[in-house]
Structure 1
């Protein structure tokens, strides 16, 4: 009987894959593996942040995260929920989402009955729900699959 892979194995597999990708792209970067509450985060940093800029865009990070999850899943046979952060891309995205939440709240304050956010990933939706809750409001997700989005009402 084979034991289920641990999150450490997941992190090692993901880090190896990202390291190979960086080598192929001839990019330098330090890789850190962190496991919190059963979720693995792979962070890639560089002494020269501009070197990682092309990989740190939201679309590139989302695509690379999905590819990395697929590699982990293929190797372990288990679904992966790992998170990839390249050059601080996650914190940058959190700041962007915070501005979107502030704008949505302003629109409610100006009289709109509800504000629909654009569709986003489950990870981003969680961040937005948390940001809205921090501001004392509630939100709900609506829609299916790629159309799933957050709705903010009073």
Structure 2
């Protein structure tokens, strides 16, 4: 396993070559699952993030492959640009709480919008603490989503 500083340097090097000015960059523990590389971009970061974080996910995948090749170790890290993912997780938590409340109130399934596998995993983990609710992933590819249901 490579150290955080080596990963950070590789990520910074790639983003510098892409022409993005980095104002701040930090690597921290993130939910005990993986490391979080937080990047601050001076100027407009919309192109790096993309619609619904699609470009951010693709960039993260590419950076993982580069780090794996250069440092010789498969590293698990989450790339977060201008706190996009952190804000998205907070929004997701609120959405899940509201959907769980609706399921409890009306006793009928509530499908969430399609989301990434990482976000689906977060939803499943968040709802584990609700004994009267169960979750199920349905759909395929870009249409894969979580359905929150009352426990039978």
Give me the TM-score of the superposition, normalised by structure 1.
0.70
Give unpaired runs (5+ residues) of structure 1.
1-5
The equivalent residue for 2:44 is 51
For residue 147 of structure 2, the aligned residue among 139, 144, 151 is 151
Alignment of 1:83 with 2:78, yes or no, is yes
1:79-132, Cα deviation, whole Å (9 max, x unpaired): 432111110112211122124214423542553621222342232123223433
For residue 29 of structure 1, the aligned residue among 1, 23, 41 is 23
Alignment of 1:113 with 2:91, yes or no, is no
Alignment of 1:20 with 2:14, yes or no, is yes
For residue 41 of structure 1, the aligned residue among 29, 36, 43 is 36
| Pairs aligned (count) | 146
Q: Give the conservation status (yes or no) of the 8 Å contact 1:114–1:152.
A: yes
Decide whether aligned partners of structure 1 residues 145 and 83 sit closer, same or farther in structure 2, where only a CA change above 3 A counts. Answer: farther
Structure 1 distance, partners of 2:132, 2:66, is 38
- Matched residue SS, 1:68: helix
Structure 1 distance, partners of 2:29, 2:91, is 25
The equivalent residue for 1:92 is 87
Structure 2 distance, partners of 1:137, 1:54, is 41
Give 1:152 shift.
1.0
Give me the TM-score of the superposition, normalised by structure 2.
0.71
- Matched residue SS, 2:22: coil
Structure 2 distance, partners of 1:145, 1:44, is 31
Give unpaired runs (5+ residues) of structure 2.
none
Judging by fraction of residues, say which structure has more strand.
2
